[in-house]
Structure 1
Amino acid sequence: MTALLEMPIATDAAPSIERRSHPSWKRILDLSVVAMATPILAPLLVAVAVYIRLVSKGPVLFLQSRVGYGGEFFTIYKFRTMHVSSRGRDCGHRSYVAAHAGTGTPVKKPDLRHELIPGGGLIRKLSIDEFPQLINVFLGNMSIVGPRPDLMQLEDYQPWQLERFGVLPGMTGLWQVSGKNELTLEEMIELDIRYARHRSLAGDLKIILKTFVVLIFDFNE
């Protein structure tokens, strides 16, 4: 993991996205995690789904188009934590993140408290809203570990940064366990590229374990 953080990144890559092949161990790990996590999480997922329907009008799941493997779009699944009436937040969030490019300032989460349903903040803080992405992992358009799919579009990236789309996006990733919201946008993308270039079973397992540590630490803040 330390080696990944220390390896330099070249910034003169071609604009085209080189798709890296999916290692067999990675698909086996993904399906194994889905198979183990689903029965354990099922009671929690059902409870959260019922709660969302009780406290807010609208669908339980929030479906959104994101840029994924090879620059292709896919539909990501999340628990809905915002009021359906909240409009324009996707474009606003895209602009918010893109505006941090080249500024050298950490990308903090925008304040969306006024748009959240009751309890939505806690669901987000515990990352429970991300659990439906196990569906994406099962379908094969996401992995457990990989660059997080965000709301920015390909044109928002510099050509060398597109390398992050050469592998499947993930539910968690290297930058999430390496400083998260204390990192600049460029640092996040560099970590994504390091991960894409140096994937390994040991590295994925470390990131998964560190993700639990980060969740516990964030919850206690």
Structure 2
Amino acid sequence: MNDTAIRERLSEIKKLRTDNQKNTAKPRIEPVSGFYITLKYVVEYILAVIAFVAFLPLLLFVALLIKSDSKGEVFFKQKRYGHKGDEFMIYKFRTMIQDAHKLQNKLSHLNEMNGGKLFKTDNDPRITRIGRFLRKTSIDELPQLLNILKGDMTVIGPRPISTPLSEYDENQLNRFKVKPGLGCIWQAYFRGETDFQDWMYTDTIYVENMSPKLDLRLMWIIGKNVVLGKGAR
């Protein structure tokens, strides 16, 4: 599935968008099954093991930098919704000052994410000196290799976010039929753009079209984006 096909499918889904299908209770989500999804999880788990071993010295060095740069824990931990809508704790390197979440309401006017369900801004004053570098290079995401090793995530799949399941319409809930990943269509083609609904619908496009070719293509494009710092916040 190429760039043009993804954008055309996104336009089709947006035309069918409805806001009256939101759920008030946790829905029953049937996960994707079959040979490819099983193979995908096994192969990507092995890749994560190799990456964790390779990046371990860097992880330890970054942990020391964070501790020397500002007060607080090395890791940022937060509840996210993943496979089948189940909750899990995600790990990132801490890139903000201690207790940054307590200041978010005061900074709501800076939010650039359309839809208001996530907070993203290029000018977040809570980000530390080392944190800005970690975000620009996506090094802050490396601790999620631990999430893969725990079985909560995989390499390519919808990004895990903290928005409750009740905030999604029926079509968007399809994103939870597979494990969340380190990278997705949004990061490959739309990273840095700020429409929450479009982001959710690209995840459903991924679930509809998941294949070895698409996964390899996304790995390549996301890897290139990371090296070039494209769209990082």
Normalised by the size of structure 1, how large is the TM-score? 0.84
Q: Give secondary structure in 2 for the equivalent of 1:149.
A: coil
Cα offset, 1:11, TM superposition: 4.7
Following superposition of structure 1 onto structure 2, how do residues 59-70 of structure 1 map, counting pairs within 5 Å? 59-70=73-84
Task: Name the CA shift for 1:98/1:83 in 2 (closer, same or farther; >3 Å).
Answer: closer
Following superposition of structure 1 onto structure 2, how do residues 30-69 of structure 1 map, counting pairs within 5 Å? 30-69=44-83
Task: Name the CA shift for 1:85/1:182 in 2 (closer, same or farther; >3 Å).
Answer: closer
Count of residue correspondences: 217
Residues 1:21 and 2:23 aligned together: no
- Give the Cα–Cα distance (whole angstroms) in 2 for the partners of residues 139 and 201 of structure 1: 23
- Letter of the 1:61 partner, please give it: F
* Structure 1, unaligned runs of 5 or more: none
Following superposition of structure 1 onto structure 2, how do residues 53-202 of structure 1 map, counting pairs within 5 Å? 53-88=67-102, 100-101=114-115, 109-111=120-122, 113-182=124-193, 184-202=195-213
> Over the residues paired in the alignment, what is the CA RMSD in angstroms?
3.1
- Give the Cα–Cα distance (whole angstroms) in 2 for the partners of residues 142 and 208 of structure 1: 15
Task: Name the CA shift for 1:211/1:93 in 2 (closer, same or farther; >3 Å).
Answer: farther
More displaced, 81-90 or 36-45? 81-90
- Give the Cα–Cα distance (whole angstroms) in 2 for the partners of residues 182 and 62 of structure 1: 24
Task: Name the CA shift for 1:112/1:208 in 2 (closer, same or farther; >3 Å).
Answer: same
- Give the Cα–Cα distance (whole angstroms) in 2 for the partners of residues 64 and 126 of structure 1: 21
What per-residue deviation string (whole Å, max 9, x for no partner) do you get for residues 83-121 of structure 1?
11323367789998797239xxxx993245421222110
Q: Give secondary structure in 2 for the equivalent of 1:137.
A: helix
Contact 2:114/2:194 (CA < 8 Å) preserved in 1?
A: no
What per-residue deviation string (whole Å, max 9, x for no partner) do you get for residues 177-207 of structure 1?
1122225222211110010122112211111
Q: Give secondary structure in 2 for the equivalent of 1:181.
A: coil
- Give the Cα–Cα distance (whole angstroms) in 2 for the partners of residues 70 and 94 of structure 1: 30
Percent identity between the aligned chains? 32
Q: Give secondary structure in 2 for the equivalent of 1:180.
A: coil
Residues 1:212 and 2:226 aligned together: no
- Letter of the 2:67 partner, please give it: R
Task: Name the CA shift for 1:152/1:94 in 2 (closer, same or farther; >3 Å).
Answer: farther
* Structure 2, unaligned runs of 5 or more: none
- Give the Cα–Cα distance (whole angstroms) in 1 for the partners of residues 48 and 22 of structure 2: 35
